[in-house]
Structure 1
């Protein structure tokens, strides 16, 4: 079996798998012989997705309706789906507005979907994945907002920073189980992600953001038309998973940002001696991380 065939015949659960990046990943996976379970909330998107698979002569995925914030529904899926070897936490919302005006409803909605949805999936699905053998992988989809902050996306950015930190830590935890973990951070991609603000649930109606201007939002959506094709993002995601890359970056667009971030971080470090005690603790932390990457299970006692 070649490296590229490792996941052939395995089952992938992709949240939000019937549109945008999720649909791009679903298509790339299906073309590589991976069986699919796709979650959905929009019936029209589900039908379009089913038709694509039929037109391609590919097995039609199993479709499961899911609100990723619904923990009871997650528990039902974990009990009924059977073996899931690949978990792709893709579902999310893109909602923008000035952070200084945000209310609890804004925080609860955006963080609840973008971070809480990932957490719910991990709690529900990891026990079953850990009990399996053979190739398995978790892909948490963040965004370049996991690195690049801006004035109109504070809570969205916070949610993606949170997914980034969670994923980087989770990788250490799952290595002993031979489960790969990747953080996917795509840039601008052709999708309908821009219209999330039009779908705000009633229970989170108390927003502090300015009222949604549909025409202004549609104009913002034209930027997404210039994005990378979602299938290309999916193919790069597949390659990253096969190679077990901890970080999958699909766009070359952000080198300038990364260089500026790196320079700012290094410039902010005080130029002074490090006390021996602190240096020892940091050395232990680095040693523990290296040991974790080699397959060891690390406890708090390893850090002092």
Structure 2
């Protein structure tokens, strides 16, 4: 981003405390770097000590305060509760949550085992769920500019033949975030869904990190050299820092949806037209039309910051 200057965002974000998952490598680190350049205070989750050390070295070399590093498996709910208390105790308040941690694991869905579902959904959707339950009370209790950002993927719009469970997890994050936005608006808390595309990370070899205790996969075995060859595609991806800058810019604008890669316009247009063509051409009964009108008006009211209750929908 040629026009990016972190100083331009300091007025709104300097001193804000952000907790980012999966934040010591890849996209998470890119987000953390962009936030640091805007003057934010950071708490970053990690799994591997080597990645934590490398991230710490970057912050030191670039003149930023060392973040609070917390070890976290995003599927561990008990640890999530501990981390929320640790971050609050360290900084006093938490203003921003970025649910970023995820795994990119592919295989034919018709051969998937329960363990495949449990792992991929547990990290990609369960990790977001756990983050919200642990940190939303802290963010609601804080003051000033606050934001929740859930990072999904373009897979949240575009399914593929080898990515059934991965796609399901990202569709789930999309639906959750789009609904959560209505709930957070009355609290004056921003909420963004981020759907990045190809980014220069090690996501292509996520399958090599499958936990030993997760259970047997139903996917056909893929040789490590094949996975690593697949991973070379990510070398053509956007730099994580650039994606992180675009995310912070979108948060600053209060964008509900942040798309970072321009090349998917044709895909989104085709997907939209496919949905439009599937609609039947027929009259809608007045009673049903009235219910849908109430739904639309409730959505507008919620987006404007009003609390919506069940009896507003009938």
| TM-score between both structures, scaled by the size of structure 1 | 0.98
Which residue is 2:208 aligned to? 198
SS at match of 2:301: helix
Which residue is 1:57 aligned to? 63
CA distance in 1, matches of 2:285, 2:163: 39
Which residue is 2:181 aligned to? 171
SS at match of 1:12: strand
SS at match of 2:97: strand
Determine whether 1:299 maps to 2:313.
Answer: no
Which residue is 1:92 aligned to? 102
**How many angstroms does 1:6 deviate by?**
1.2
CA distance in 2, matches of 1:288, 1:228: 38
Which residue is 2:81 aligned to? 75
Moved more, 224-233 or 203-212: 203-212
Distance 1:12 1:123, change over 3 A: same
Which residue is 1:186 aligned to? 196
Which residue is 2:4 aligned to? none
CA deviation string 1:105-161 (max 9, x = no partner): 000000000000000000010011111111000000000000000000000000000
Question: Which 4+ runs in 1 deviate beyond 2 A?
Answer: none
| TM-score between both structures, scaled by the size of structure 2 | 0.95
CA deviation string 1:172-220 (max 9, x = no partner): 0000110000001001000011111111112223110011310110110
Which residue is 1:26 aligned to? 32
CA contact (8 A) 2:125 2:172 kept: yes
Which residue is 2:221 aligned to? 211
CA deviation string 1:253-275 (max 9, x = no partner): 10110110011000000000000
CA distance in 2, matches of 1:132, 1:62: 19
Determine whether 1:285 maps to 2:303.
Answer: no
Q: What is the 5 A alignment of 1:6-21?
A: 6-21=12-27
CA contact (8 A) 1:197 1:212 kept: no
SS at match of 1:88: strand
CA deviation string 1:213-268 (max 9, x = no partner): 10110110010000000000010001011111000000001011011001100000
CA RMSD, aligned part only?
1.2
Unaligned segments of structure 2, at least 5 residues: 1-7
CA deviation string 1:43-91 (max 9, x = no partner): 1111110111111111111100000000000111122211110000000
SS at match of 2:213: helix
**How many angstroms does 1:295 deviate by?**
0.9
Unaligned segments of structure 1, at least 5 residues: none
